[in-house]
Amino acid sequence: MPETIKNVHRSPNSYPRDWRRPTSNAPRSLRTKLWENLGENCESVKTLVEPPKRPSINVSEQKKFEDLVFWWIKETSASSSLLKKVIHPAYQRIMAKGPSVIPLILKEMKRRPGHWFWALEYLTEGQNPAANSRTLT
């Protein structure tokens, strides 16, 4: 057995980058099959589950997001009304980017508190990951 495969057995966290660990969301039969095959042939496992594409965030998207956040803060920080804040064009443009912007919002919340629950609620279709917080630490 190649060394890399042994490593996979030793630590589930040491999967190669292009793999995805089986999750509880995967169909049970598929998960079982995956684990059965894992010990024998990693390549066959790789073909069983096509790793879903994770939303990739490139530098320009990050920059565009930060520019929008800065625009939004500059023009709405003096207001005390949440509605005024969230109908601002910059905030609307951030929401229009879709779920791929969620990691950037969460990252922004780690940096500083903000009124992001509205956007997160919209982007997660009600399953707001930050419903109980204005910041992430």
Residues that bind another protein (CB under 8 A): 69-70, 73-84, 86, 112-115, 117-118, 121, 128, 130-134
| DSSP letter (8 states) at residue 51 | P
Q: Of 25 and 132, which has the nearer Cβ to another protein? A: 132
What span, in angstroms and rounded, lies between the C-alpha atoms of 19 and 91? 35
C-alpha dist (Å) from residue 127 to 53, 72, 118, 132: 21, 24, 11, 12
Q: Of 59 and 83, which has the nearer Cβ to another protein? A: 83
**Cβ at position 32, least distance to another protein in Å:** 40
What span, in angstroms and rounded, lies between the C-alpha atoms of 107 and 112? 9
**Cβ at position 31, least distance to another protein in Å:** 35
Q: Of 30 and 87, which has the nearer Cβ to another protein? A: 87
The encoded tokens of residue 108 equal 């922004």
Residue with tokens 């064009």, as numbered in its chain: 89
What span, in angstroms and rounded, lies between the C-alpha atoms of 15 and 134? 34
Q: Of 47 and 132, which has the nearer Cβ to another protein? A: 132
**Cβ at position 57, least distance to another protein in Å:** 19
**Cβ at position 17, least distance to another protein in Å:** 32
